């Protein structure tokens, strides 16, 4: 096997992964189940996001209140 010269410092090779300069924004919908679903559907129709990007509305523990979250990332130029 290859043996480095005596006293040589071994360093691992450096691999530079491409860095994607991205920002993220989280949209949170909080309210009645029907209102959340309608809002998600409207944003989908407008082309702002995909329906599948949103979490399933989950009850918050307050009577009749639900929450759904969507994270949208954008690449900075």
Per residue in 37-49, pLDDT (tens digit) is: 999 999 999 999 8
Number of domains in the chain: 1
| Residue 61 placed within a domain | yes
> Containing domain of residue 55, as a range?
23-75
pTM score, whole prediction: 0.66
For residues 6 and 72, the model is more confident at: 72
Cα separation of 48 and 55, whole Å? Answer: 16
pLDDT for 76: 72
Weakest-pLDDT range from 28-32, 60-64, 71-75: 71-75
| Residue 56 placed within a domain | yes
Place of tokens 């969507």: 70
Q: Strands (DSSP E) along 1-77, which ranges? A: 22-31, 58-59, 66-75
């Amino acid at each position: 096997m290859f043996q480095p010269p005596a006293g040589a410092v071994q360093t691992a090779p450096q691999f530079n992964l491409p860095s994607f300069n991205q920002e993220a924004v989280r949209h949170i919908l909080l309210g009645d189940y029907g209102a959340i679903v309608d809002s998600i559907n409207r944003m989908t129709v407008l082309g702002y996001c995909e329906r599948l990007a949103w979490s399933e509305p989950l009850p918050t523990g307050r009577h009749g209140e639900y929450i759904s979250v969507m994270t949208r990332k954008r690449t900075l130029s």
